[in-house]
Amino acid sequence: MITQNINLNTEDRKLLLDLAKNAIESKLKGHKFEIPKNIPSKLKEKRGAFVTLTINGQLRGCIGHILPVQELYKDVIENARSAAFDDPRFPPLKKEELPNLKIEISILDLPKKLEYESPQMLIDYLNKNKPGVILKKGPYQATFLPQVWEELPNPEDFLTHLCLKAGLPADEWTYGIEIETYKAEKIKEA
């Protein structure tokens, strides 16, 4: 299991995007989905991955695994279908939405626990590094991928929204929570 960015080449990136798109299209159109026989070994590594779907710049589904549970190419296929049809925040994708659908894949490094001594140290670290963040407290947990920093560039706002996503009070991050961080390699359709 590798804990660094995977550094895929252009062909690998295109193959993952094609697999995600074909997995969604085949289910929508009722076609058989065929996986190419010559999957590169790099894509057979176990990696955590998320698939994010947008339509006209608006989130339409996002599902993934933080930790590696299966080979990367299989995770992308599974998460693409789940993001399109099983994200509880959205109704299942419809055929007429397909032409406007944009796919983004995030391949995650293994998360690392962040040691910090005060909320200000946490803010300073996040402000400087802008990583993916997993917030945990008791049975509550949520994550934001690194690209969420584009929408929530202020670390206090980022953590507030992450607390709410986890089902915690908005200011819970100021009272001592467990934080793990990770990097992600982003693959996006042109």
Query: Using H for helix, E for strand and C for coil, what is the string for 60-72?
Result: EEEEEECCCCCEH
Per-residue pLDDT at 5: 61
Tell me, yes or no, whether 31 and 78 share the same domain: yes
The range of the structural domain enclosing residue 146 comes to 112-182
Tell me, yes or no, whether 21 and 104 share the same domain: yes
d(C-alpha 101, C-alpha 59), whole Å? 10
d(C-alpha 82, C-alpha 73), whole Å? 14
Indicate the burial class of 55 (C-beta count within 10 angstroms; 0-12, 13-18, 19 or more): middle
Tell me, yes or no, whether 100 and 149 share the same domain: no
Tell me, yes or no, whether 123 and 48 share the same domain: no
pTM, full prediction: 0.89
Q: Which of 109, 136, 163 is the last residue of a domain?
A: 109
Per-residue pLDDT at 189: 80
Per-residue pLDDT at 15: 96
Residue 5 falls inside a structural domain: no
Per-residue pLDDT at 1: 40
pLDDT, mean over the chain: 93
User: In the structure, what pLDDT confidence band is assigned to residue 3 with cuts at 50, 70 and 90?
Assistant: very low
Which tens digit of pLDDT belongs to each residue from 130-168? 999 999 999 999 999 999 999 999 999 999 999 999 999
d(C-alpha 119, C-alpha 145), whole Å? 20
Cα 32 from chain centre: 26
Q: At what angle do helices 10-29 and 72-85 cross, to 10 degrees?
A: 40
Which tens digit of pLDDT belongs to each residue from 54-99? 999 999 999 999 999 999 999 999 999 999 999 999 999 999 999 9
Specify the number of domains making up the chain. 2
